[in-house]
Chain A
Amino acid sequence: MNNVDNLINLSKDLRWQIGDDFHDNLAEGIYADAAEIVKDSVHKKDENKKLRLDATIDRIVTSRVWGFPIMFLILAVVLWLTIVGANYPSSMLATLLLDTVHPFLRSMAVAASFPAWLSGFLIDGVYLAVAWVIAVMLPPMAIFFPLFTLLEDFGYLPRVAFNLDYLFKKSGAHGKQALTMSMGFGCNAAGVVATRIIDSPRERLIAIITNNFSLCNGRWPTQILIATIFVGAVVPKAFSGIASLGAVIGIAVLGMAFMFFVSWGLSKTVLKGEVSTFNLELPPYRPPRFWKTIYTSLIDRTLIVLWRAIVFAAPAGAVIWLISNIHIGDLSIAAWSIDFLDPFGFLLGLNGVILLAYVVAIPANEIVIPTILMLTVMVTGISGGEGAGVMFELDSVTATGDILKAGGWTLLTAINLMLFSLLHNPCSTTIYTIYKETKSVKWTTIASILPVILGFIVTFLVAQIWRLF
């Protein structure tokens, strides 16, 4: 293979002779060829530069006056359609999977004379967790992703990146992060996948690590429920709706603030040396093909993410059932863990139940509230619920509030839970996705640990200051 070495050495010598301009010259040469060819074969019949409609739309959506209001309006409409629109199919799915199929499976298990531990493990643990994730996750994603994809295919989203890039640049990030962040409002795992549109290594890592600060679909219901029970209750009845809505929006905005702050911090510290480039093409507007877009976004985004979530939720359901039903001494593992976590929870203005729920519900934020309710009933011994290890939710908001208050919850617990729900580690689906996208243990670890540390700090500070006054 001596000749090969000669070849390589020859190329080195030649490169030395040509100097640094090789790439410039080659790129210029290719474009010069292209220009010659085009001159031969393309003829323009008249000189109107661009479709007039395109130009008009661009002037409006990027105008100083209308650009930002239009953007916020569209985001608000998409989120509203998602959250409100998902309620109906979600409750239908819940009725079907939780209220009809679950008892049916149980009775089947009795009929087949399964031992209690087996039916508990399989039906109350694995099945219930999976059913829950499907019921809560599928409808919002099935609404959010097609809407988002329609905007994307139309060509509006690159204009959003264009409008907002200046703000993101200030924190060392890329304008396209506005889109991956919005995608995170649907699902953080999908948001992390969407960072592929950012082709600069540093900005892409920033977008991946900070995506978790977008409140995802799995966390919106938790926020709304807790805000309604606790925040709505401290103001006069007439304003309770507005107050709880304000609290939820406040948390989402706080998330964005953290996103900017952490992006800035990352770009100034650990990511300082990563390569950073910028380019953004503004493609022409093209009318999306409605049905096709809906079909493909369901297949490409919704179902893939849902499948990953199910894969992770199944073992979590099993774990939740097991820790509630395996006893060491006279207490279950869950009860031991709660006792152990309680002091720590107290420092953070939370409690052991919440912390344990977040530990076992890593796979999906959707099952945090059902797990908290089940554990609260279990440790307080009040009536309600369906037995150890069986997650449940109540139709009545007041009844849910009663259980939580019996578990010792105060307004502080509620606010800190809302904060902690925003600032904790990403769900395991997202962690796995981050690993697949970055192929780096280091960045996956940072992306997983950083938010939870922030969560501890913030809830801790809020708790201490709250108690001071």
Chain B
Amino acid sequence: MNELNYSPLTALLTFLGIVLLLFLLFRPGKGWFWLIQKNKESSRKVIIEDILKLLYHSENEEKSLNLVDITRTLKDPDDLIIDSINEMAEHELINLEGEHVKLTQAGSEYGLRIVRAHRLWEKFLAEKTGFAEADWHKIAEQKEHELSDADTDKLSARLGNPQFDPHGDPIPTNTGKMANVTGTLLSEMEVNSFGRIIHIKDKPDIVYRQILAENIHIGSHIRIVEKNANRVVFHSEGEAFVLAPIVAGNITVTELKKDVKVEENIARLSMLTEGETAEIIGISKEMRGESRRRLLDLGFVKGAKVSIELPNPLGEPKAFLIKGTSIALRNNQASKILILKD
């Protein structure tokens, strides 16, 4: 390089240009590179599988869909969707009955396979990876199209052939068997009735994120305190929750008989203060996989006595005295351990 021609300003600008280009190309989620990749992926197969899944779910809810419903629900270009539907009809995956689109036997089985792959993926993401709960659905939406039947079986075996995905939805077996989920919507529960949350719908995204942010999770015992047109109030694990009825409608509960003993005074370990002692009731179902096992191995089991051993200068982690040893836990862990204060 000739040092006479060199100017630091040009060098800086060139550098900024390159950085800008890289940013535009690889910006997480919206970079051109990713968009091009995604475009390639949204091939015919993916659209067909998405349509099958959509039809499968709506037929389960005994709704029937027409062409307009489908094009409106899926985000892909309309002409592609129409093409795909024609192709599906050719392959006898669907029947066109006037306006309505119906699944054939083969189509229904195919749809079930995709549902199985999707739910297994969500289970996998929950148990074996560190992805955040809010991201599971999105990742599973992509991955479900990449698994062959053999891969799906392998994934299922690796997870110990689970019955339910982390949202509480049943996972179909490879022969199409599926456990039943029967429950009441939270919005339809009577005041003062007890229940256990068994399912949380992960769609629409906005509502789901709101439920996650409230720290409501599957397995929690609840008691309905108040119900009217504007809100549903319930107590769970030592906290009061207030939800709009439309949000509560996304949560399914099995009602518990009155004689089942429901601990009303349950609190979370994160709410313990110095000087108090408590007994551990259990670990919330929200704590999964390796993290859950670790806590059990460390002695955070039902019946163990626990107290705060050492507060932290920065707030967390706090050290808890459990079975004779101080173990430090972060707040997000302590908030998933249920206790009964002495």
Q: Which residues of A contact B (CB under 8 A)?
A: 12, 15-16, 19-20, 23-24, 27-28, 31-32, 35, 49, 58-59, 62-64, 67-68, 162-167, 169, 175, 202, 269, 272-283, 343, 346-347, 460-461, 463-468
Contacts and interface: CB of A to CB of B under 8 A. Distances in A.
Interface string B1-27: 101001011011001000000000000
A27 B297 CA distance: 7
Contact of B8 (A19, A28, A277, A464): A464
Contacts of B291: 276-278
B328 A280 contact: yes
Among B298, B310, B328, chain A packs the most CB atoms within 10 A around the CB of B328
A169 B161 CA distance: 34
Contacts of B15: 460-461, 464
Contacts of B296: 23-24, 27-28
Given A164-B314, A346-B1, 9 more contacts: A16-B163, A24-B296, A273-B130, A274-B129, A277-B294, A279-B294, A282-B325, A282-B326, A467-B8
Interface stretch (B52-60, B88-96, B253-261, B301-309): B301-309
B328 A162 contact: yes
B77 interface: no
A275 B293 CA distance: 13
A414 to B, nearest CB: 18
20 contacts: A15-B161, A20-B163, A27-B297, A28-B302, A64-B313, A162-B310, A162-B312, A163-B312, A164-B314, A166-B315, A167-B314, A275-B130, A276-B291, A278-B317, A280-B327, A281-B326, A282-B309, A282-B326, A283-B325, A468-B8
Contacts of B11: 347, 460, 464
Interface of B: 1, 3, 6, 8-9, 11-12, 15, 28, 125, 128-131, 160-164, 282-283, 289-299, 301-304, 309-317, 319, 321, 323, 325-330, 333
Looking at chain A's contact residues, is the secondary structure mostly helix, strand, loop, or mixed?
helix
Given A277-B290, A464-B8, A272 B302 contact: no
A426 to B, nearest CB: 24
A281 B325 contact: yes
Contact of B330 (A67, A169, A282, A460): A169
Contacts of B298: 279
A467 B9 CA distance: 9
A62 B312 contact: yes
Among A32, A281, A466, chain B packs the most CB atoms within 10 A around the CB of A281
Among B8, B11, B130, B316, chain A packs the most CB atoms within 10 A around the CB of B130
Contact of B12 (A162, A202, A464): A464
Contact of A166 (B295, B301, B309, B316): B316
